[in-house]
Structure 1
């Protein structure tokens, strides 16, 4: 039976002091700041009751307020973005039943992919955590293989069972494609790239934050493995980017790539 209509919040964790890219949320991308672009994406998702930015930095907060966005100030002691999202959810006037963690650097996330994730939470009330994945085409798969051979860490893949529940997430490419003829006759590869977009039932988010990281999480440096190590199912929802390119901003070098993609593919939403 579908989950009853319930409050949905999209919370955007945003931190100024990134070690790899100081002040990243305020970086300009074709005339607008990164956090402004993320805010616009979240506001374009229909059926959402609350959108807010969770931060501990007044520079980010002042900027978000300047374009009419809502800010929740969270403790500096939050160890990661997921904990920051929970602390913000706890401070909302109405506690949301579904909490979406939209990462503050995912500036090319199509709003319809967020809708797909929320729809799965409504469709199946047993789902406590859901995340997104895109089936890679052969071109993007070969590009990922090449980047891994050169020692790049970025790019997480995921495998899942017949119900769509995650089996494993890895910075390595999984599954290992033994036969190069696999998928002959189609442009698709058998590999799914994980998209760092999450939806939580509020109770599942609280439980997740209370758990200790396990050895797999520490080895791969992937937070989502904590849920699997503690036996919490993670529903993997296949999303369609509609021909658009997935990219996130991890370093200043990524800004130029994102600006090029926006120039080629257009803005997802207006200012």
Structure 2
């Protein structure tokens, strides 16, 4: 078996790995549920390579991500459900259907018009799915449960806003965030604090949407900033010959303020 630029070779390799006669024991032991988290992780690693602008890494991570649908499709082929060709057929049909201004007779004069047509087609698709399950279509349909909670909260509020269920402006959302913070402070039990913390985070995600900020990306950047600054604190303590556990909060906070000041000056 030799490497190739052809997708058919990847399909052949995956089939060989899953072959009960001489395949890989680990690959043979997997099922849809056992590899679903790998699918999510690979998507995050692609996003990480993009943020770092590391295009060699991006090429490799896209390959790792591509393996996931190939893996799932191979298992589905074995189960007689569908194969990789069906996956390609489905996405090509969807792209053509959602771009009538490109592949049909409709016209879209700008990106906004194209997005509006995309949303209209998606709404039709949601209604079609609802009819299959004998239910009413909801604007919240198709918001994946497996999204990170902060990202899902932002997406849920965005969907609700499309039908007018939304705060009128940023000050109104800020007031809601303050209200939720007050309720968290007033909570008397762990159960109440749990609920109020969720409400506060949901309100913050909604505020981020109103400010045109991706809350998941903002928190990811904050995590990266905290990590970088904390590494500085560790390095400063080491340079002073002080163990972190023995340094005391005042000293550690002094190190932290050094890197904060340096960041603001840069």
* Category of TM-score, reference length = shorter chain: under 0.3
So what's the TM-score if we normalise by structure 1?
0.23
Task: Tell which structure's C-alpha radius of gyration is larger.
Answer: 2
So what's the TM-score if we normalise by structure 2?
0.24
